[in-house]
């Protein structure tokens, strides 16, 4: 049985899915047609029910919960791993509502966390996450919400952190930060859902056993990213919650979902 599977080309996702999609483990008759896309593209596709299995921002979960359910394995969730608000120079928090902010997608968890911290800030521009640093440097926007590997590069470009939006979430809720998860369409048979969940768990275990070695699948999709940054990326976003959400992880997701209520 072939299933469509979407995730990002970022090292945390390719690290998780490498063994599963490249026949390094026994997939027990399942094959996967992969689509590697920016997570905001995947978020939009999910609202159309396009893929059978997909990485999604938890920020879009409420909009797709009638079509998709969250799997236990593969999530990006933890502490100290949230998005950052950065700029060329410090901006007082009470002035954020008056400036133009680049966000990495309307449906991203990053935008949701920013909106929780700064509900009055409405002047936003959606940009591809990898373009946000340069947009701030060029003056197209006054500040930007950065995710992924940009957490490790913004200081090298002379940018400054205004606030760690993940720290804000943790300090106000006490919960770890739910960034993204792996979702499967509800019309997939239950036994296949469980099989996929188990395979993601096994695939990640395979990668952990070989870490800190990086497979060609990870390095090729990371393009020009330095291997040190790739490992920082994996270390930050892949953890025990990725192997299985557990009660603490599920409670954190429920807490984030309560923001919509």
Architecture of domain 2-77+178-260: 3-Layer(aba) Sandwich (3.40)
**pTM summary value:** 0.91
148 is catalytic: yes
How many Å apart are CA 141 and CA 52, to the nearest integer?
Answer: 36
Domains 2-77+178-260 and 84-173 share a fold: yes
Q: Is 57 annotated as a binding residue?
A: yes
- Contacting residues for 230 by C-beta, under 8 A, at least 6 apart: 11, 149, 214, 218, 219, 222
Q: Is 88 annotated as a binding residue?
A: no
pLDDT digits (tens, 9 = 90+) for 215-244: 999 999 997 688 998 999 999 999 999 999
Q: Is 51 annotated as a binding residue?
A: no
From the candidates 93, 148, 210, 233, which is the catalytic residue? 148
The third-level CATH classification (topology) of the domain covering 84-173 is D-Maltodextrin-Binding Protein; domain 2 (3.40.190)
Domain ranges of the chain: 2-77+178-260, 84-173
Strands 68-70 and 177-185: antiparallel
pLDDT digits (tens, 9 = 90+) for 28-77: 999 999 999 999 999 999 999 999 999 999 989 999 999 999 999 999 99
Helix H or strand E segment including 176: none
């Amino acid at each position: 049985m072939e299933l469509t599977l979407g995730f990002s080309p970022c090292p945390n996702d390719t690290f998780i899915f490498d063994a599963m999609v490249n026949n390094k483990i026994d997939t027990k008759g399942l094959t996967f047609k992969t689509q590697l896309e920016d997570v905001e593209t995947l978020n939009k596709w999910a609202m159309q029910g396009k893929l059978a299995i997909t990485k999604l921002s938890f920020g879009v979960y409420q909009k797709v919960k009638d079509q998709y359910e969250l799997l236990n394995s593969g999530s990006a969730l933890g502490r100290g791993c949230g998005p950052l608000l950065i700029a060329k120079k410090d901006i007082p928090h009470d002035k954020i509502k008056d400036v133009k902010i680049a966000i990495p997608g309307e449906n991203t968890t990053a935008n949701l966390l920013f909106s929780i911290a700064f509900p009055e800030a409405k002047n936003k521009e959606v940009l591809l996450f990898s373009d946000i640093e340069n947009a701030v440097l060029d003056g197209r926007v006054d500040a930007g919400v950065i995710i992924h590997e940009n957490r490790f590069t913004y200081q090298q470009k002379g940018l400054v952190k205004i606030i760690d939006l993940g720290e804000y979430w943790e300090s106000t809720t006490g919960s770890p930060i739910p960034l993204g998860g792996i979702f499967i369409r509800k019309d997939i048979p239950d036994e296949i859902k469980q099989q996929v969940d188990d395979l993601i768990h096994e695939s990640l275990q395979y990668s952990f056993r070989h870490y800190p070695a990086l497979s060609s699948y990870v390095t090729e999709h990371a393009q020009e990213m330095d291997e040190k940054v790739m490992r920082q990326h994996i270390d930050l976003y892949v953890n025990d919650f990725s192997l299985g959400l557990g009660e603490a992880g599920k409670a954190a997701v429920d807490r984030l979902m309560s923001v919509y209520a």
